[in-house]
Amino acid sequence: MTRVAGVGARACVRARARARGGGEARRGTNSRMFAAASSGRANDAVFVAHGAVETSRALADACGGAVKLIERAEALARTNASASLEAARALAEHAEVASGGDANISTRAREIELEHGRRVILDAYYAETARAARRQRNRSAAKPKKRARDRACRKPKARQGWTRPEMRERNARTCVGCEKIEAKDAMFRIVRCSVTLDNGKQTTTVKYGADADGACGRSAYVCKTRCCVARATKNKSINRALRCSVDKDAYDALAKAAAVIEDDAGVDTSGLTFVRPEGTAARWSAPGVWL
Ligand SMILES: [Zn+2]
């Protein structure tokens, strides 16, 4: 920022002062200017400029001429460091003044000045971007590295090995007995329907078996096995799933239907016990197992 501010006339004065030998000389110039202004001299600028021209000429003489001086400035500018460019710019200025307005030297000095200006702008830009990057880094460092919520969201949901499109296509439902996800048509369906009575009152009935086909309402599903129906009966899982009371008749009918199906297949699952796999907290990750 200081460099940007220094592009103007003040920087020229400072550079010349540096060439003359530091702060002493600068203070000298200022006091001379002040003296000139206070004594009412007509053109103090000319007085100061006269001193600057002398310095420039002395510098040029020391280097062996204004051309040599500008060559030196160009060599310095070619090193391409910010500090060298600033020095090169000051030298070029002196060369220009010492040459007395030579067109060639003026053009070369102008080139160096332009290069210096470009560098000043670039430096300011890089400093600003670095500051922004630092600010950004500090801000992200303050943020906790892992947010539990994010991890939970990104993890694919456990669906007992089913993919989402598969579940939609095959109408996957969960058994209230063993919590296994299965296609809808492979299970018994129990439906809670609302019925309007003759006196205009509404009541709920539970439909199952053939009655349930095409019936609308909240549904529960059970595997077509004795064990699942028995566990659902014991736990009153259908009551819970339908959020209403379910008659014993419904459970008995389901048990009977399951027995018929199992007898046809020649299996009997009534003696099996329900085991939840080790380490599966959620029913989504794995169903219970009948052993
Ligand atoms: Zn089941």
Residue that terminates a domain, selected from 142, 174, 205: 142
How far is ligand 1, taken at its centre, from the CA of residue 178, in Å? 4
Q: What separation in Å is there between the alpha carbon of 175 and the centre of ligand 1?
A: 5
User: Residue 148 falls within a domain, yes or no?
Assistant: no
* Same domain assignment for residues 17 and 136: yes
In the chain, the percentage of residues whose pLDDT exceeds 90 is 36
Q: Say whether both 46 and 100 belong to one domain.
A: yes
Q: Same domain, yes or no, for 138 and 104?
A: yes
- Comparing CA positions, the residue from 255, 263, 291, 266 lying closest to residue 276 is 291
Instruction: Quote the CA–CA distance of 129 and 127 in Å, as a whole number.
Output: 6
Tell me: do 133 and 258 sit in the same domain.
no
Decide if 229 is inside a domain: yes
Residue 191, pLDDT above cutoff 90:
yes
Confidence class for position 275, pLDDT limits 50, 70, 90: confident
Residues 59, 135 within the same domain: yes
- Residues 76, 44: one domain? yes
CA of 231 from ligand 1 middle (Å) equals 9
Distance 230 CA to ligand 1 centre (A): 10
User: Is residue 128 domain-shared with residue 184, that is, in the same domain?
Assistant: no
- Where do we find the tokens 């600003």? 128
Q: Please tell me the predicted confidence (pLDDT) of residue 37.
A: 44
Position 54 in a domain: yes
> Could you tell me the distance, in angstroms and rounded to a whole number, from the CA of residue 188 to the centre of ligand 1?
10
Residue 170 CA to ligand 1 centre (angstroms): 17
Mean pLDDT of the chain: 80
User: What average pLDDT does range 68-90 have in this prediction?
Assistant: 86
Whether residue 229 has pLDDT greater than 90:
yes
Is the pLDDT at 151 greater than 60, yes or no?
no
3-state secondary structure 125-194: HHHHHHHHHHHHHHHHHHCCCCCHHHHHHHCCCCCCCCCHHHHHHCCEEEECCCCCEEEHHHEEEEEEEE
Tell me how far CA of residue 212 lies from CA of 148, 217, 271, in angstroms: 43, 10, 29
Q: Do 137 and 172 belong to one domain?
A: no
pLDDT value at 110 more than 50:
yes
| pLDDT value at residue 45 | 43
Number of domains in the chain: 2
Does residue 135 share a domain with residue 21?
yes
Q: What's the CA-to-centroid distance between 129 and ligand 1, angstroms? A: 63
Range of the domain at 65: 2-142
Helix (H) or strand (E) holding 263: helix 248-265
- The CATH number that applies at residue 198 is 3.30.1230.10
Distance (Å) from CA 7 to ligand 1 centroid: 83
